[in-house]
């Protein structure tokens, strides 16, 4: 005998299948979210998914057994408590606990059906949930007026629960749609209050991919029917075309549905901190971001989406190895930062880094031009200068070894000073000029000058900015030791540390008061500019001075 199929049978199959897919997709999105406060929504989504899956299992079996019926009813009775908690946002606690108590009582009654044949338990459990949460939904609408629509959705969901008290599992199709499967969009409306944009982002892209895949699958089937001899080559070509079309559709979708354009360009200027501040402000206008409240991971380079996309941050790793963090607050209308915004942040980061490099290159070229201009102004012609050194070296008697050695040292120093085609040199090369300079000063000052060079072997092969140590040594001799009647010592120390390589120049000269600007300021300022151009705006000289002497140090970052 052929069974009679109720009117709502197909509607139930379609409705619960759609519910299982939608809630399953949303559960996957929430599972990947690590923001605080997502657990309630995650559990509610899981319960809604299991309820739809249990309904599908009952439809597949043709009947609902007592255990499956108790399981379904318990799930659907507990779902309103979680949704009410999300609507009221946990405040006040007594109302939330009341909601969970109602669901708990209803769940106990449904489980009691397994050991009792009374139909009263099933109906009583559903009545408790329906009437109790209708009252709580109205209370939530009054207390949280900004969430009146989710409260109304909860009210309608509570009313629809009465439908399950009927013995007839399949009513007319329009009844099934309105009161049975109407719970699916109502529950989703409550859940999506805090997650609507991340869900919309994924769902629209998912549907677009499915649509494109269906079009190309249909094209492949038609081709195979009409031209079977070339089906393999055609399918291969269609697969390649599908990959290309999918990317284009996603790009078009981003521009039309999410109104996202390429990130703006950033105008580089001569001041790196100002450039970074202007870039951050430009991005805030681009995203329509408000003031930031949440803290980002200060050690993370690249984009960060915070609290399920409520806020965002972008870390820019500077040449010094430090991270400059740009933070972006909430957007108008509660719109979240979506996946495409993360891509835009990565593109913006690349453009910002290009701007930083352009600023540093311009600064280095400016220093080089200034050095060349000073050389021209001093009327120093390199060929004439070195020819003069060679002539002087030749006329000095061989017995005057010190004088001949001084000429060679001067030639090396001037040749080193006039190098404009290099930014970095090896530490050994800089030390060679330091030793040549100290040898010349040793002849001039005699016993007044004592020197000590402590170079760690692991630092010998490091690259440092050109003329970053010699000016410090020259400053220590000229302004520290030379003015002191009793003379003094100059000590150079280069050693590796956790942050990189520490360069320290210390002297026992006259020093200067802490309130005064150090003498030899031009040389120190030149070194300071070189360090900042090479390692970023945070690179600087650490200067400590007293009547006992002066110590100047800087660090070559490990990343360099």
Domain membership flag for residue 120: yes
- d(Cα 280, Cα 274) in Å, to the nearest integer? 10
Mean pLDDT of 391-406: 68
Conformational region of residue 231, where left means phi above 0, alpha means psi within -120 to 50, and beta covers everything else: alpha
Statement to judge: residues 185 and 207 lie in one domain: no
Those residues whose C-beta lies under 8 Å from the C-beta of residue 377, and which sit 6 or more positions away, are: none
Residues 158 and 130 in one domain: yes
> Does one domain contain both 117 and 164?
yes
- pLDDT higher for 556 or 444? 556
Q: Is residue 92 a part of any domain in this protein? A: yes
The domain boundary, picked from 326, 344, 366, lies at 366
Q: Give the model confidence (pLDDT) of 502-546 as tens digits.
A: 999 999 988 876 555 554 566 788 888 888 888 877 788 889 988
pLDDT of 380 higher than 50: no
Top-confidence residue, 338 or 394:
338
Q: If pLDDT is split at 50, 70 and 90, which confidence band does 470 have? A: confident
CATH number at residue 115: 1.20.1070
Contacts of 269 (CB under 8 A, 6+ apart): 275, 278, 359
> Hunting for tokens 């990565």 — which residue is that?
346
Place of tokens 């908690």: 85
161: nearest Cα among 178, 185, 180: 180
Radius of gyration from C-alpha coordinates of the chain: 38
User: Are 242 and 350 within one domain?
Assistant: no
254 has a pLDDT exceeding 90 = no
Asked, for residue 311, whether it belongs to a domain, the answer is yes
Total-model pTM:
0.42
Q: State whether 189 and 208 are in the same domain.
A: no
Q: Are residues 46 and 176 in the same domain?
A: yes
- CA dist 269 to 221, 274, 283, 300, 558, Å? 58, 8, 17, 26, 27
Indicate whether 101 belongs to any domain.
yes
Reference 121, options 106, 102, 100; nearest CA is 106
Q: What's the domain count of the chain?
A: 4
Asked which of 140-149, 370-379, 415-424, 516-525 is least confident by mean pLDDT, the reply is 370-379
Pairing relationship of beta strands 549-557 and 542-546 according to DSSP bridges:
antiparallel
CB 445 within 8 A of CB 481: yes
Calculate the alpha carbon distances from 258 to 306, 328, 338, 464 in Å: 20, 18, 9, 48
Residue 174 within any structural domain of the chain: yes
Is the same domain home to 79 and 136?
Answer: yes
Do the domain assignments include residue 389? Answer: no
Q: Are residues 106 and 154 in the same domain?
A: yes
Angle between helices 183-191 and 9-31 (to 10 degrees): 10
Could you tell me if residue 106 is inside a domain?
Answer: yes
Among 207, 225, 254, residue at a domain's last position: 254
Domain range enclosing 503: 422-557
Most confident region among 85-89, 134-138, 550-554 by mean pLDDT: 550-554
In a domain, 371, yes or no: no
Specify the range with the lowest mean pLDDT, choosing from 298-302, 305-309, 432-436, 463-467. 305-309
308 and 178 share a domain? no
CA dihedral of 315, 317, 321, 323, whole degrees rounded to 10: -20
Q: What pLDDT, on a 0 to 100 scale, did the predictor assign at position 452?
A: 92
Do residues 323 and 433 share a domain?
A: no
Q: CA-CA distance, 152 to 137, in Å (whole number)?
A: 7
Query: What pLDDT is recorded for position 514?
Result: 55
251 vs 527, residue with greater confidence? 527
- Of residues 105 and 199, more confidence is placed in 105
The whole-number pLDDT of residue 330 equals: 82
Is the domain of 67 the same as that of 109?
A: yes
User: What pLDDT, on a 0 to 100 scale, did the predictor assign at position 393?
Assistant: 63
Query: Which 8-state DSSP code applies to residue 35?
Result: -
Same domain? 99 vs 245: no
């Amino acid at each position: 005998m052929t069974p009679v199929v109720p009117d709502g049978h197909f509607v139930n199959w379609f409705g619960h299948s759609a519910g299982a897919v939608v809630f399953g997709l949303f559960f996957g999105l929430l599972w990947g979210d690590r923001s605080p406060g997502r657990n309630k929504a995650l559990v509610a989504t899981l319960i809604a998914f299991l309820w739809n899956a249990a309904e599908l299992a009952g439809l597949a079996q043709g009947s609902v057994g007592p255990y499956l019926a108790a399981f379904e009813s318990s799930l659907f009775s507990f779902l309103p408590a979680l949704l009410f908690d999300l609507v009221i946002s946990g405040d006040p606690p007594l109302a939330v606990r009341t909601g969970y108590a109602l669901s708990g009582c209803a769940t106990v009654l449904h489980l009691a059906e397994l050991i009792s044949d009374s139909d009263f338990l099933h109906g009583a459990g559903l009545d408790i949930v329906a009437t109790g949460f209708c009252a709580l939904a109205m209370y939530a609408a009054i207390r949280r007026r900004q969430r009146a629509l989710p409260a109304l959705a909860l009210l309608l969901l509570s009313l629809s629960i009465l439908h399950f008290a009927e013995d007839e599992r399949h009513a007319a199709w329009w009844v099934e749609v309105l009161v049975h499967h109407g719970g699916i969009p109502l529950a989703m409306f409550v859940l999506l209050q805090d997650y609507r944009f991340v869900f919309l982002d994924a769902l629209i892209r998912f549907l677009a991919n499915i649509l494109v895949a269906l079009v190309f699958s249909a094209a492949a089937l038609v081709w195979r029917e009409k031209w079977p001899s070339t089906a393999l080559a055609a399918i291969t070509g269609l697969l390649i075309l599908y990959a290309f079309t999918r990317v284009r559709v996603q790009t078009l979708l981003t521009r039309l549905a999410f109104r996202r354009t390429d990130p703006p360009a950033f105008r580089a200027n001569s001041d790196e901190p100002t450039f970074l501040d202007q870039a951050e402000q430009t991005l805030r206008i681009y995203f329509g971001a408000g003031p930031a409240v949440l803290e980002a991971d200060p050690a993370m380079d690249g984009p960060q989406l915070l609290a399920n996309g409520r806020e965002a941050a972008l870390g820019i790793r500077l040449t010094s190895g430090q991270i400059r963090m740009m933070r972006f607050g909430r957007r108008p209308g509660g719109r979240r930062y979506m996946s495409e915004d993360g891509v835009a942040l990565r593109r913006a980061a690349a453009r910002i880094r290009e701007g930083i490099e352009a600023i540093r290159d311009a600064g280095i070229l400016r220093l080089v031009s200034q050095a060349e201009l000073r050389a021209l102004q001093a009327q120093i012609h390199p060929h004439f200068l070195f020819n003069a050194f060679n002539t002087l070296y030749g006329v000095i008697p061989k017995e005057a070894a010190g004088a001949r050695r001084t000429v060679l040292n001067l030639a090396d120093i001037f040749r080193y000073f006039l190098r404009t085609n290099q930014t970095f040199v090896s530490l050994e090369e800089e030390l060679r000029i330091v030793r040549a300079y100290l040898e010349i000063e040793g002849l001039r000052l005699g016993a007044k000058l004592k020197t000590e060079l402590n170079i760690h072997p692991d630092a010998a092969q490091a690259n440092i900015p050109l003329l970053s140590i010699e000016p410090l040594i020259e400053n220590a001799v000229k302004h520290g030791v030379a003015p002191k009647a009793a003379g003094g010592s100059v000590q150079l120390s280069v050693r590796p540390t956790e942050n990189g390589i520490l360069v320290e120049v210390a002297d026992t000269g006259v020093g200067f008061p802490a309130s005064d600007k150090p003498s030899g300021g031009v040389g120190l300022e030149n070194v300071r500019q070189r360090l900042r151009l090479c390692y970023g705006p945070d690179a600087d000289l650490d200067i400590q001075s007293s009547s006992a002497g002066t110590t100047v140090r800087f660090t070559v970052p490990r990343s360099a």
